[in-house]
Amino acid sequence: MFGVLNTTPDSFSDGGRFVDPERAIAHGLELVRQGADVVDVGGESTRPGAEPVPPEEELRRVVPVVRGLVEAGAAVSIDTRRGVVAEAALDAGARTVNDVDGGRDPELLRVAAASGADLVLMHSRGPAASSGGYGDVVADVAVDLRRRVDAALAAGVAPERVVLDPGIGFSKTAAENWSLLAAIEALRVDDLRMLVGVSRKRFLGELVPGAPETRDGVTAVLSALLAERGVWGLRVHDPASTRAALEVAQRMRVAA
């Protein structure tokens, strides 16, 4: 399970809460105590309409936090779309590159290949893309993921290091998100691992109106259902509730 740690002032769920490195590190360690296996550190908001952040600012936000978490014994992933940020975070001790732009930066692919780190390739049309407009969203996303995998392998990333993310909530309508989740098995490429993040996403607000934090319950239920269907990793803001939901599902399997 990946615990989300945003060091940004403008993320949709917790923007501004963890811009101070010490506070961010403390929260990251709390995510681990709640059940996160990996702390996913991001320094650039990916919410719709967010302004791009200069690389220098992204580095300033994330590198001290990555280093502090690693020194405290946490496994860390860097959530970025830039090779220069990925390289600095890996040098600081991160083990995984979570590429929110699907490897469109050739430098990021080079860094991932040279480091031997795990590489998450998330489906996205880019930060300026609008939602919707797919012909068949499941088929289109599957084709796009295949292309991103091919690009990563061509750059020298070992196949066993590649993880796929269908990019739920990124340039997709609520109906398209549900279609992708319902057909999650159809998005597999070469039996690679899959990471899915539905946590607190806007489309869940149709079920639970209110602040993003009120969506943790439905996030936990949906995450557990995805795990039952073979999803390898879950990206969540509240590991405790999702960990409990996974335990419920496990006990049901054992009792059956």
Report, as residue numbers or ranges, the catalytic residues. 201, 235
Residue 6 vs residues 2, 129, 132, 182: alpha-carbon distances, Å? 12, 22, 26, 28
DSSP structure class, residue 251:
H
Pairwise CA distance, residues 103 & 77, whole Å: 15
What digits encode the pLDDT tens for the residues 91-134? 999 999 999 999 999 999 999 999 999 999 999 886 545 566 78
Pairwise CA distance, residues 47 & 235, whole Å: 16
Q: What is the pLDDT of residue 51?
A: 74
- 10-16 mean pLDDT: 55
Please give the angle made by the CA atoms of 145, 151 and 156, to the nearest 5 degrees: 130
Residue 13 vs residues 4, 71, 211: alpha-carbon distances, Å? 10, 27, 8
Determine what percent of the chain is predicted with pLDDT higher than 70. 93
What's the pTM? 0.92
For the ranges 125-139, 192-206, 214-228, the lowest mean pLDDT is seen at 125-139
Per-residue tokens: 252: 């049901």
Pairwise CA distance, residues 107 & 116, whole Å: 14
Q: In angstroms, how far is the first alpha carbon of the chain from the final one?
A: 25
Residue 62 vs residues 7, 51, 98, 214, 217: alpha-carbon distances, Å? 7, 17, 13, 27, 29
What digits encode the pLDDT tens for the residues 59-80? 999 999 999 999 999 999 999 9
Q: What is the H or E stretch that residue 41 is in?
A: strand 38-42
Q: What is the pLDDT of residue 253?
A: 87
